[in-house]
Structure 1
Amino acid sequence: MKTDWNTDQYLQFEDLRTRPAYELLNRVAIDQSKKVVDLGCGPGNSTELLRARFPSAVISGVDSSPKMLDEARKRLPHVTFSLDDIATWKPEEKADVIFANASLQWVTGHSDLFPRLMQCLNTGGILAVQMPDNLSEPTHALMRETASEGPWAEKLSEAVKSRETIGSSADYYNWLADQSEVIDIWRTSYEHVLADAGAIVDWVKSTGLRPFLGPLNDQERQSYLEHYLGKIKQAYRPLKDGRVLLTFPRLFIVAQRKL
């Protein structure tokens, strides 16, 4: 069962989710751009950054979620947003910047995808990508563990395999090298201070937990979340003031197409 994104849930942590997009954009070394694409734009929080950075450019957002696009259109009514599968997306004309913040981790086949996206850029154009690299973190390991242990194990067998581990830094360098003038790759591990273990569950409900909750009925979903929360409480112990730290590694890639 495929479910659409919950925009309210996603935007509950908007500032923290937008910070990586802001830091990615700061490393995009291009002053003038005529056409900018936000690939996997979500509710438009990253598109808003692009609008401010490139005020004279034609900016468009692409996403596969109708609800996310509705939210983006409300936020930025003068930007063009379109419904499309980012795995197969191809622009009508080449772009100067393709920006993909926390979206390409949902797409498989990166060895083909990244070179293809480079071909969608004008000479000197920039591909800027940020992807969560957290499948080994307790948040995600415990999703899979909870799915495998409960009465819903058969229903969730596909969900356990729903996201591929992203490649190494060397992988992305090699996939981009033939077409790139400059490649900048770095990893950042954020330490998000959240209210408690329940806030961690709220964070991942709108992202990583979606494939696990979607196939379940209401009763199963509630039971799954109770079991998952119990494990999260054990993995993320309260700090001195009762809050918790959510460690969140992310991979950043900025590549400029050959001049």
Structure 2
Amino acid sequence: MKWDPERYLQFADYRDRPFFDLATRIGAGQPESGPAWVADLGCGTGALTAVLADRWPTSPVIGIDSSEDMIREAHARSGRNLSFAQGRIQDWNPLPGPGVLLSNAALQWVPGHMDLLDRWAKALEPGSWIAVQVPGNFGAPSHALMRELAASPRYAQALAGVLRGTDSVAEPGEYLELFVDAGMAADVWETSYSQVLDGPDPVLDWVRGTALRPVMQALEPDEYRAFEAEYAALLRQAYPPKSWGTVMPFRRIFMVAHKP
């Protein structure tokens, strides 16, 4: 799927906050005795991967992303202990030694990622950490309305199988059980952010950077413009603006696991 780095960074403050809420719970070593390696899977533009490189300056940090456009921008951030590579998350394997595997808002795009997490958890060496954040809002109006419109007669044929539903992620208890069964000490929690967005059609602007992108690529330009116009009208009803902005609740699921 083709990504637009500039569009994705439009709401950087809101998109970045869960990363910091996740990363602060990783208890791997101090800078002078950092992990053997750090991997950021689904690193995007690499801006947050660079934060990890600053936190552990003596550890090699690598960012992996399948998007050529994202990795092209990320390469500009490469430094002494920071590098990037294009690749699929599901093809990655843990490196030797106790390391840190982090994936922020990426695994929801990977079908079967529960099996992937189980494989990583069992393959990691003792002392390693897994830190993952995924959106838990697939049942929210922003996503439900998109799926309903995609299933309508006008778009059903072109968009068949394009959008995934609430099965895109698991529930917190399922992630907790997975890590505990794999022999890890796990902390799993969820947070709902009440995001206040500005401007006309701000929820539409938000999903243009993420959830709406498969629709953009599946439809012809004229069809997509019609789809977006109908979808925008539905979003205005579901997220009515206030005089001070539009509230978009966003549930996110966090998990941090350590292998003793």
Q: Aligned-residue CA RMSD in angstroms?
A: 1.7
Which residue of 1 is the match for residue 37 of structure 2?
A: 35
Specify the SS of the correspondent of 2:193: strand
Q: 1:228 to 1:179 in 2, by over 3 A?
A: same
Instruction: Work out which of the residue numbers 176, 179, 185 in structure 2 matches 1:176.
Output: 179
TM-superposition CA deviations, 1:188-242 (whole Å, max 9, x none): 011111114522111111211111221111101111110110000000011133x
Q: 1:114 to 1:133 in 2, by over 3 A?
A: same
Instruction: Work out which of the residue numbers 45, 53, 59 in structure 1 matches 2:55.
Output: 53
Which residue of 2 is the match for residue 213 of structure 1?
A: 216
Which residue of 2 is the match for residue 68 of structure 1?
A: 70
Corresponding letter in the other structure for 2:112: G
Corresponding letter in the other structure for 1:26: T
Give 1:176 shift.
Answer: 1.3
1:54 and 1:110 map into 2 onto residues whose CA distance is 27
Corresponding letter in the other structure for 2:190: R
Worse overlay, 140-149 or 118-127: 118-127
Specify the SS of the correspondent of 1:192: strand
Which residue of 1 is the match for residue 192 of structure 2?
A: 189
Are 1:247 and 2:256 matched, yes or no? Answer: no
1:180–1:255 CA contact under 8 A, matched in 2:
no
1:72 and 1:187 map into 2 onto residues whose CA distance is 29
2:20 and 2:186 map into 1 onto residues whose CA distance is 19
> Structure 2, unaligned stretches of length 5 or more?
none
Worse overlay, 28-37 or 246-255: 28-37
TM-superposition CA deviations, 1:86-114 (whole Å, max 9, x none): 12322453551000000111112233211
Q: 1:46 to 1:158 in 2, by over 3 A?
A: same
Normalising by structure 1, report the TM-score.
0.92
Specify the SS of the correspondent of 1:81: strand
| Structure with the higher strand share, 1 or 2 | 1
Are 1:10 and 2:13 matched, yes or no? Answer: no
1:182 and 1:196 map into 2 onto residues whose CA distance is 43
Give 1:157 shift.
Answer: 1.3
Q: How does 1:101-116 map onto structure 2 within 5 Å?
A: 101-116=104-119
2:64–2:89 CA contact under 8 A, matched in 1:
yes
Give 1:77 shift.
Answer: 4.6
TM-superposition CA deviations, 1:35-70 (whole Å, max 9, x none): 100011111122022112111110001111111111
Which residue of 2 is the match for residue 129 of structure 1?
A: 132
Q: 1:95 to 1:15 in 2, by over 3 A?
A: farther
1:254 and 1:91 map into 2 onto residues whose CA distance is 16
Q: 1:217 to 1:190 in 2, by over 3 A?
A: same
2:98–2:126 CA contact under 8 A, matched in 1:
no
Normalising by structure 2, report the TM-score.
0.92
Identity of paired residues, percent?
36
Corresponding letter in the other structure for 1:138: P
Give 1:256 shift.
Answer: 0.4
Specify the SS of the correspondent of 2:35: coil
The alignment of Structure 1 onto Structure 2 pairs a total of residues equal to 255
> Structure 1, unaligned stretches of length 5 or more?
none
1:209 and 1:88 map into 2 onto residues whose CA distance is 25
Corresponding letter in the other structure for 1:112: D
2:157 and 2:175 map into 1 onto residues whose CA distance is 34
